[in-house]
Structure 1
């Protein structure tokens, strides 16, 4: 197929306004649904004993509820008109799914860092998930309506301005584009913001595999063993396991055999030099790890491996289920869910984990592999004042624009659709406030279901008490 000219691509972007006017993006979508029923459907197939913990973590605040309920917003967005410009999107681009990490060349970059929901979808769905998260988080932190509107407008206008810049770049220039912490420091508008980024760099330097080893593991009889800390961390076949007798994971020997097959299949998804690198490590221990909010109850393992210098490598093996975008956008289909996550991450991120790969595990579950920690950092948004949160909104808008420009190759079309004015940003500001209100309503329905016993919710502290003598 012939490559379109830049002018043809601009025309396509402008013509998308006929499909959906920019002002129409303020609508929250199809919100006539039962949020509890959708959340229960989304919990199907998870570890039964951990579903109450998922709901417990979601119940802490409307913001934690928003983080764990991506399925609701995907459902609602499917009831809105879209631009018709679709490509693999993050699918869960809320403000805490951005962060800093080291590239294989050891540069610190700021980028999207969660791809469990990645799938082909309309680019604006990611941006709406992001701006609504600022409205929900801002309300949680009592920032005030004016400040929240400022956060949202900042994120969208930064996305717009960066996309207009990226529309001038070649395909290779976009592929090599990095949003480094050094570039962010250079563009920071306040001394306080620059100082925060400097502290983030210093913090990242200490977040290594060695630091994880000191916190998580001990040596016993010449081998390294990770310590149980239920409900968040436990051995699959150990006395603190929450997996249940009905699973095939409680027989340690059988599990080790299945893991060996799964690991061998994973190695086949890596390049030859990375397979060679992993061959220099020996598996020491395997634990089940409960992560995040929305992922609670899905299978997640940590593999502790050591080289001959007694230096560790921690790999995370995380279950990949059907994307919520895949459930509500007709173009989003994929055979192996782990491959979907890995392919999407490699496409959207500027630089991905060198150990990123996928495999099939026990019970036919799909998994993807990555490092547990490699100079990874995230923002503690609840400690940011309004000025710093506005700066963070700018960083997220920049990083999302870069990811979309690279992944879709549609920077020209998106820039032409948005234009150079504020009409689109103003519509998304209205959307953010409307969806934050919808999230509050859904949260109240959810909390009533928890209080009535329809949903069982337990905190980490409550579940940890079950294991104390």
Structure 2
């Protein structure tokens, strides 16, 4: 909409209601499908043992199942009308993918932190994913249906109101908008919620990955080496059974540097000149494989680098797969997140959607030509511990998520005016989303039951964290 007047942009947003009425967002469509189909397609992209562990994590609750089944939800969203207003979206705006993080400036900020599924898509798909997760969280806490509806109304009303606010921002102001520690505290609904959030953040601000270096690694005659921390972190030689045969260099005695160094050089070239200069001040010491697969069963590893004072830098390389969103959305826009390299797509999405800058966001490919997204590994200082949140604290968190999602969409799209005009000032859009969230949460619970039965019958393989640890540390044959 370059060159359009504010009035024309408002008119465009309101005109989208003719294509998709706000009341129509309560529809979930015909869902007479086998939920295992999209899940099997999703699992087929991953190493079998990691997919089996992913299934086990998903089986713990409907909320965990919904977190790990973005492909299924994308399939269902594509079966109902949408606004046609396509913007860069996360694709998995589940409440567990939001959090408070330490920024590059060593401040605390709250935002969305999941970009594996990022693509151009209808902005409301992210909102719908958030609100369904809120209802499932309320049910996990055994809150009333009224309390669950209040959560959704609070989150969507916050999204609507913040989007109206951002529609008044200049482009530079919006680009630098950030949800800081103090603003998080101000947004809490009650004094008690403010105290809980403040305690969580102040406690989290004390330690960093760097300060924990001595607990994670050992000093050796040749530098530093990772320790094993199963079932989360595994040294390369112990993680080899989890991965395909073409990562043979990670087996005991293998030369893992022969795999990593070409990846490192490719990654380095994706950074701007000043960031390459910064990266060059670090020495690569060791790698460890990471099992953090609630969002998907990808091959992930963490690189330990140190500078001349032995100060550490932790870089996470996460395998990137095709977006579950992109396959369902046709996009003729010249502003897309489409890329031949899926690691590049994820890195571009992170740079575009996040407010806090990661100077190390980039991409590379393995010797087996698997695409990876690389970023600095950050500690989450504030997360949704659903089992400990009461209704008021969960509502405060829901408001934070709605705010963060509005900031994400407004910054990435530059279309806050159009989105705000579409939603308007009334509660019609929040009420429709509340109805959608309730009905689709019912469907998600039915899908979870089907999934759980398939896991128990052996139709879908599952392996627990203990199984994986036993695989990797099994005694060698005599």
State the TM bucket, normalised to the shorter chain: over 0.9
Q: Does residue 358 of the first structure (1) align with residue 359 of the second (2)?
A: no
Q: Does residue 292 of the first structure (1) align with residue 318 of the second (2)?
A: no
The residue number in structure 2 matching 1:279 is 280
The residue number in structure 1 matching 2:125 is 125
Would the alpha carbon gap of residues 2 and 393 (structure 1) be closer, same or farther in structure 2, given more than 3 Å must change?
closer
The residue number in structure 2 matching 1:38 is 38
Alignment partners' CA distance in 1, 2:254 and 2:65? 38
Alignment partners' CA distance in 2, 1:71 and 1:382? 26
SS in 1 for 2:194: helix
- Note the 1:364-383 alignment, pairs <5 A: 364-374=369-379, 376-383=381-388
Q: CA contact under 8 A between 2:95 and 2:133: conserved in structure 1?
A: yes
SS in 2 for 1:209: coil
Moved more, 284-293 or 7-16: 284-293
Would the alpha carbon gap of residues 375 and 295 (structure 1) be closer, same or farther in structure 2, given more than 3 Å must change?
closer
The residue number in structure 1 matching 2:334 is none
TM-score by length of 1: 0.95
Q: Does residue 193 of the first structure (1) align with residue 193 of the second (2)?
A: yes
SS in 1 for 2:250: coil
Distance apart, 1:249 and its partner CA: 4.3
Q: CA contact under 8 A between 2:20 and 2:83: conserved in structure 1?
A: yes
Alignment partners' CA distance in 1, 2:39 and 2:207? 34
Alignment partners' CA distance in 1, 2:90 and 2:281? 33
Distance apart, 1:206 and its partner CA: 3.0
Q: Does residue 158 of the first structure (1) align with residue 163 of the second (2)?
A: no
Would the alpha carbon gap of residues 91 and 30 (structure 1) be closer, same or farther in structure 2, given more than 3 Å must change?
farther
The residue number in structure 2 matching 1:425 is 430
The number of residues matched between the two structures is 468
The residue number in structure 2 matching 1:97 is 97
Moved more, 443-452 or 214-223: 214-223
Distance apart, 1:265 and its partner CA: 1.2
Alignment partners' CA distance in 1, 2:401 and 2:279? 33
The residue number in structure 2 matching 1:115 is 115
Would the alpha carbon gap of residues 23 and 437 (structure 1) be closer, same or farther in structure 2, given more than 3 Å must change?
same
Distance apart, 1:242 and its partner CA: 2.1
Alignment partners' CA distance in 2, 1:213 and 1:130? 35
Alignment partners' CA distance in 1, 2:120 and 2:400? 24
The residue number in structure 2 matching 1:137 is 137
The residue number in structure 2 matching 1:13 is 13
Q: Does residue 405 of the first structure (1) align with residue 413 of the second (2)?
A: no
Residues 138-171 of structure 1, C-alpha deviations (whole Å, 9 max, x = no match) = 1111111010000000000011111111111111
The residue number in structure 2 matching 1:308 is 308
Alignment partners' CA distance in 2, 1:54 and 1:362? 25
Alignment partners' CA distance in 2, 1:212 and 1:302? 15
The residue number in structure 2 matching 1:258 is 259
Q: CA contact under 8 A between 2:301 and 2:317: conserved in structure 1?
A: yes
Alignment partners' CA distance in 2, 1:239 and 1:67? 25
SS in 2 for 1:39: helix
Q: Does residue 345 of the first structure (1) align with residue 350 of the second (2)?
A: yes
Alignment partners' CA distance in 2, 1:246 and 1:361? 10
Distance apart, 1:262 and its partner CA: 1.1
Q: CA contact under 8 A between 1:234 and 1:241: conserved in structure 2?
A: no
Q: Does residue 22 of the first structure (1) align with residue 27 of the second (2)?
A: no
SS in 1 for 2:101: strand
Alignment partners' CA distance in 2, 1:393 and 1:249? 45
Alignment partners' CA distance in 2, 1:266 and 1:324? 25
SS in 2 for 1:109: strand
Q: CA contact under 8 A between 1:234 and 1:240: conserved in structure 2?
A: no
Moved more, 234-243 or 198-207: 234-243
Distance apart, 1:247 and its partner CA: 4.1
Q: CA contact under 8 A between 2:141 and 2:386: conserved in structure 1?
A: no
The residue number in structure 1 matching 2:339 is 334
TM-score by length of 2: 0.93
Residues 266-302 of structure 1, C-alpha deviations (whole Å, 9 max, x = no match) = 1111122221222121111111111131222x11011
The residue number in structure 2 matching 1:388 is 393
Q: CA contact under 8 A between 1:236 and 1:243: conserved in structure 2?
A: no
SS in 2 for 1:303: strand
Moved more, 54-63 or 348-357: 348-357
Alignment partners' CA distance in 2, 1:256 and 1:240? 14
Q: CA contact under 8 A between 2:20 and 2:82: conserved in structure 1?
A: yes
Distance apart, 1:374 and its partner CA: 4.9
Q: CA contact under 8 A between 1:119 and 1:326: conserved in structure 2?
A: yes
Distance apart, 1:468 and its partner CA: 6.6
Q: CA contact under 8 A between 1:244 and 1:250: conserved in structure 2?
A: no
SS in 1 for 2:31: coil
Instruction: Note the residue ranges of structure 1 that are not aligned, 5 or more in a row.
Output: none
Would the alpha carbon gap of residues 40 and 2 (structure 1) be closer, same or farther in structure 2, given more than 3 Å must change?
closer
Distance apart, 1:179 and its partner CA: 1.0
Alignment partners' CA distance in 2, 1:31 and 1:216? 47
Moved more, 361-370 or 27-36: 27-36
Moved more, 358-367 or 382-391: 358-367
Q: CA contact under 8 A between 1:23 and 1:424: conserved in structure 2?
A: yes
Moved more, 121-130 or 369-378: 369-378
Q: CA contact under 8 A between 2:231 and 2:469: conserved in structure 1?
A: yes
